[in-house]
Amino acid sequence: MNTNRKTLLSGSIVKKAVKDSFVKLNPITMMKNPVMFVVETGTLIVLLMTIFPGYFGTGENIGFNFTVFLILLFTVLFANFAEALAEGRGKAQADSLKKSKKEMTANKVVNGGVKQVSSTELRKGDVVVVARGEMIPGDGEVIEGLASVDESAITGESAPVIKEAGGDFSSVTGGTRVVSDEIKVRITSDPGESFIDRMISLVEGAKRQKTPNEIALNTLLSSLTLIFLIVVVTLAPIAKYVEIDLQIPVLIALLVCLIPTTIGGLLSAIGIAGMDRVTQFNVLAMSGKAVEAAGDINTMILDKTGTITFGNRMASEFVPVGAEQAAAVGEWAAISSIKDETPEGRSVLELMKKLGLSNNEAIAAGGQFIEFKAETRMSGIDLTNGSKVRKGAVDAVKKWVEAQGGSIPADLDAKGNAIASEGGTPLAVAVDRQIFGLIYLKDTVKPGMKERFDQLRKMGIKTIMCTGDNPLTAATIAREAGVDDFIAESKPEDKIAVIRKEQAEGKLVAMTGDGTNDAPALAQADVGLAMNSGTIAAKEAANMVDLDSDPSKIIEVVAIGKQLLMTRGALTTFSIANDVAKYFAIIPAMFTLAIPQMEALNIMGLGTPMSAILSALIFNAVIIPLLIPLAMRGIAYKPMSSTKLLQRNLFIYGFGGVVVPFIGIKIIDLVVHLWI
């Protein structure tokens, strides 16, 4: 997804949101939000009393009633505007995606030949050929060939990525462009079910379902609304019994101030905006539940390679053994690497240049390069003078030298183990029957990872690193990166086992992955983040897909999830707390004329009963649009313990939720009192 973000107050989005605010006044739509539906019902009743004052016997209060109607109407409209604004941002993103989704011609393989068909005719299982410069007509997997693919239409990144048959980088997305070579692709989705189609549906909110936490909070708000509705309805006959006449508009004003309208008006917007923030981060969440679960994560499972480390082992030192010198080790290592195009091979030549060592390429001229094979675990070159140079795994090189009658230096194993214990990988360098030394390959930990894991620890999240390395190497990398635990020589089933173990203890677990072998663990985890560059199986098993294919982004996803939960909790606290001030404004105003002693509760010193009621209602209305930016942007999150976080939010949004309305209502009353 393109990372050019729409601003919060983009003119087109705001204009559309204003229009939708009125469209959403439809009672059928409003019934989905019980709190605001009650406000809308009260608005309609006050309107009828204003239009037909004779029928309701309220002829003397037409001006007051009309003012109450306008304030209540704007309360509902502001709540609708918050939701429409959040939806508008998602729809704007969907529109940009729809531009990249267009009908195109596909080269479908039919009976051994190629037939041009429309991309809309392709079905799951069809095979297409995509050449340089052509668009990939649908989601699929590369089954033949290798090519560079421009995925900027999806990820916003201009750098092409390599896609090839087999392995973990065979998945391709419809709407992306092949920029080199030619590939055969097996289509894996029917029309309307592609990756872009799902993205469009999710970001525009067409399939957004309320999360369990959101449903629970909605239930609480509905219950509070029902309780206060019963209180207000029963208050009228009780007041009449003691000869206090309470007008219906005043009772409706009391009800609206009692029920949690602030959070009721912002709740939906908070949920939509939370999904939107994840999407803007180039992560596609399959549901709001996944985002919320990320906020409650207790344990994080991380691969070492590509997540904690860069993933490319680079030569960092030449270590001689026996009576040899480092220069000799480097010279033979370079000769064995002259035709080696792997990252490790190129890094050997780079290290030679860095150390200022000479590299006599003439020795390797005409030699036959021996490629690395899994069976031999070595590579090298056979020189024209009959000598053979090899570099590879220490035990493999030892066996090769012994097979030719050579001897093993006494310090070889000790130096090899020392490199492994430091988190490196030792490669032995040998010429014929003699081992000259070791190449120290090091997979470097990414900068800042230790600090990021410290942040997770402050959040109360345990980190577990999974790696295929031996225990010594794994322990060193784990110590350097700062993870809490590690699993060495791990297999796919080990990941599932540790996830189930953590879940059995009542914890929520997150993990990242990109391969087919990661799919079972991604499905088992509460939050599974699959890489967009990975396999179809991994993406289907996960409940989030990272379009940038950055495995370490799971850390940001957790922060966004916590931010969503914090925002909802903070604004709920603020909404309930600010009702306290409204009670002190409106309740004394209702009863002061009949019960003068109630004036003692008018601690804000509000002008008149009428101005007090209107001031409380106006504050109740305007606080919703004032909080919209906070609901959309989210509460700023800082890693800290749950206890400190709770104390901080209670002080800011609890205490602040009590104080702010006192100040706000008083200021509004000073203006309203002059007006009336």
Would you call 371 helix, strand, or coil by DSSP? coil
Quick check: helix, strand or coil at residue 379?
Answer: strand
The type of residue at 209 is: Q
CA separation for the pair 271, 73 (Å, rounded): 24
* Identity of the residue numbered 468: G
Structure tokens at 65: 């009633």
Annotation-wise, does 518 bind a ligand?
yes
- How distant, in Å, are the alpha carbons of 115, 129, 174, 184, 581 from that of 105? 10, 11, 12, 15, 65
Q: 378 a known binding residue?
A: yes
Task: Please indicate if the annotation marks 514 as binding a ligand.
Answer: yes
Residue 197 annotated to the active site: no
The alpha carbon dihedral of 612, 615, 619, 620 has a sign of positive
Q: Is 556 annotated as a binding residue?
A: no
Annotated binding residue 376:
yes
Which of 85, 88, 80, 81 has its CA nearest to residue 37? 80
3-state secondary structure at position 58 = coil
| 24 annotated ligand binder | no
Is 375 one of the annotated binding-site residues?
yes
Give the C-alpha separation, 297 to 277, whole Å. Answer: 18
Q: Is 41 annotated as a binding residue?
A: no
On whether 489 is known to bind a ligand per the annotation, the reply is: no
Instruction: Identify the CA nearest to 130 among candidates 197, 175, 191, 190.
Output: 175
Tokens read off for 493 = 């089933």
User: Rounded to whole angstroms, how far apart are CA atoms 568 and 575?
Assistant: 10
Given a contact cutoff of 8 angstroms between Cβ atoms, the answer to whether 82 and 269 are in contact is: yes
Please tell me the total number of residues recorded for the chain in this structure.
676
Q: What is the DSSP string of 251-293?
A: HHHHHHHHS-HHHHHHHHHHHHHHHHHHHHTTEEES-HHHHHH
* Active-site entry in 303, 526, 546, 669: 303
Residue environment code for 358-392, b if the CB has 16+ CB neighbours within 10 A, otherwise e: ebeeebbeebeebeeeeebbbbbbebeeeebbbbb
Query: Residue positions in the annotated binding site?
Result: 340, 344, 372-379, 391, 514, 518
- Catalytic residue numbers read 303
Query: Residue positions in the annotated binding site for Mg(2+)?
Result: 514, 518
Query: Residue positions in the annotated binding site for ATP?
Result: 340, 344, 372-379, 391
